[in-house]
Amino acid sequence: MLKLNIRQKIIIGIIIFSICFGCLGLLSFVNTLQLEDEVLLIERSDDLSSLILEVRRIEKNYLLYHDPALFTLGLDYLKRADTLLEDLMGEFKKPEKKQTGKKLKSNLNNYRELLLQLKFTPKEASTEDKDLNNHLRETGQAMVGLSKAISNFERKYILSINRELRSNLTLSMIGIAIVIMALVLFFSSNILKPLREVQEATRRISEGKFNPLPIKNSHDEIQQVFAALNSMVEQLAKRRRQLVQAQKLSSIGTLSSGIAHQLNNPLNNISTSCQILEERQKGQDELSDRMMNNIMQETLRARDIVKGLLEFSRESEYSPGPVEINMVMKSAMDLVSSQVPSNISLSMEIPEHIIVHADRRKLQEAFINLLINAVQAIEGNPGSITVTAFMDQENTVIKVNDTGQGMSPEIMERIFDPFFSTKEVGQGTGLGLYIVYGIIEKHQGSIRTESSPGEGTSFYITLPLDKEHTI
């Protein structure tokens, strides 16, 4: 069965409505034209009746005065009546009209013959002449009756057309009333009721109840709104789970900050103890000296990591200043090195003395997010992450390239959207690249992506150089 959407239903309804009322309008127009023709026809029928009555008047005067001029005038009126009747009979359509017209035509001819016979009758009329006069009068009366009958036929036909017009008007009013009722029912059941369901659904969403709406007909625009609302509900539920995960990660970050702060004391003790022991035992045993040196180097490295972690987790205002790119990137790499598997190589080729005017902590946060994103893009397979930078007129361009699986154009269009993630729930918040984009924008820079499925991904960050400090 063909399923129609609301727009198609409305269009079909308008077409049917237009056809029905167009037919009624056309019928009414035809009836109006018929009425106009009949009005003209009845006027001519009345003219015929007037001519015949004038002939009867001349007949009476002629019988009284026997004036030859009256006789000639009577014949002239008869001729005009005969001509007019010929024209009318050509327009008669109903059989009874045609039959009446033929009778009137015959009576006109008889009347003319009787009138011609009467012309040669002397004034002193005999009994035979009186019979002729009586016959003439009877024929004239019949002519008058037939002409009136023709006029009555036309008047009755006009009344029937008028009744038909009233019937069409009544049908039109009934049809309009039915259409209005149908429209009210249609809009109530197909538009207003679903809109109330959407209103109720949005109220439930505001209360945190993400219940999808049932979809009955996917071709219906309102049902498509339901589908879009269900998709939004699904995304909202997903975003809520991601927000919960982000809150957990935020809590972990706060906890890590506290742990890092607490680690400073034992690291300082280890470093101090190692220095004292090294001063006392230095030169006595080569292996001991080498081990003491390793302990000191690793302690310093651990302290740098803790320091970077504290700087990364500490809330601060945006405070830009001269920042050397290679130092910030090296610090970011040190912080993420523990998350880089052994089968992924991490390398950096950034010239020294490329200085930008930036907030060190914010820029480091952006680099860390990009590096973590690159590690996750490789997904445990052997690969490499390469960071390079070069100066381009008044800007520096930093390229972060990975040999991961790459991205499709559809995904590339959304990677900087908040909460967009291709990972499973719990594996990512979808905020990393969104944060990177915001930080780069804050520094009057730009970021773009080049990627193809199976060919890795490259991020290009463009930042303005600090002209005062760049060599």
DSSP string, 175-215: HHHHHHHHHHHHHIIIIIHHHHHHHHHHHHHHTT--PPPP-
Q: Compute the average pLDDT of residues 239-253.
A: 61
Widest Cα–Cα separation across the chain: 187
CATH placement of domain 220-315: 1.10.287
* Multiple choice CATH, 6-189, 1.20.120.1730, 3.40.630.30, 2.30.110.10, 3.40.50.300: 1.20.120.1730
Q: Which residues, other chains included, contact 260 with Cβ-Cβ below 8 Å and sequence gap of 6+?
A: 306, 309, 310, 313
How crowded is residue 418: how many other Cβ atoms within 10 Å of its Cβ? 14
- Higher pLDDT pick, 417 / 370: 370
Q: Compute the average pLDDT of residues 238-242.
A: 68
pTM for this prediction: 0.42
Counting other chains too, the contacts that 170-176 makes at CB distance below 8 Å and 24 or more residues apart are 171/24, 172/21, 172/24, 175/20, 175/21, 175/24
**DSSP at 286:** H
| Highest mean pLDDT pick, 153-167, 308-322, 443-457 | 443-457
Task: Give the C-alpha distances (Å, rounded to integers) separating 221 from 4, 186, 205, 228.
Answer: 10, 14, 21, 10
**Cα-based torsion angle of the residue sequence 405, 410, 412, 414 in order, rounded to the nearest 10 degrees:** -130
> Which range, of 25-34, 328-337, 390-399, averages the lowest pLDDT?
25-34
Q: Where are the domains of the chain?
A: 6-189, 220-315, 318-471
Q: What is the pLDDT of residue 305?
A: 65
Q: Compute the average pLDDT of residues 315-324.
A: 76
| Highest mean pLDDT pick, 45-54, 157-166, 235-244, 248-257 | 45-54
pLDDT at 426 exceeding the cut of 50: no
Instruction: Determine phi and psi for 66, rounding to 5 degrees.
Output: 50, 45
> Which range, of 252-266, 327-341, 448-462, averages the lowest pLDDT?
252-266
> Which range, of 118-122, 140-144, 229-233, 289-293, averages the lowest pLDDT?
118-122
Q: Work out the pLDDT band at 180, boundaries 50, 70, 90.
A: confident
Q: Which helix (H) or strand (E) holds 148?
A: helix 127-187
Q: What is the pLDDT of residue 122?
A: 55
| Structure token digits, residue 50 | 């007037």
Q: What is the pLDDT of residue 155?
A: 84
Q: Compute the average pLDDT of residues 46-57.
A: 88
pLDDT at 399 exceeding the cut of 90: yes
How many CA atoms within 13 Å lie on the side-chain side of 74?
27
How many Å apart are CA 142 and CA 108, to the nearest integer? 10
Each residue of 157-176: b (16+ CB within 10 Å) or e? bbeebeebbeebeeeeeeee
Q: Compute the average pLDDT of residues 275-303.
A: 76
Q: What does pLDDT average to over the chain?
A: 79
Q: Which residues, other chains included, contact 239 with Cβ-Cβ below 8 Å and sequence gap of 6+?
A: 419
Q: pLDDT (tens digit, 9 = 90+) per residue, 27-38?
A: 777 777 877 877
CATH placement of domain 318-471: 3.30.565.10
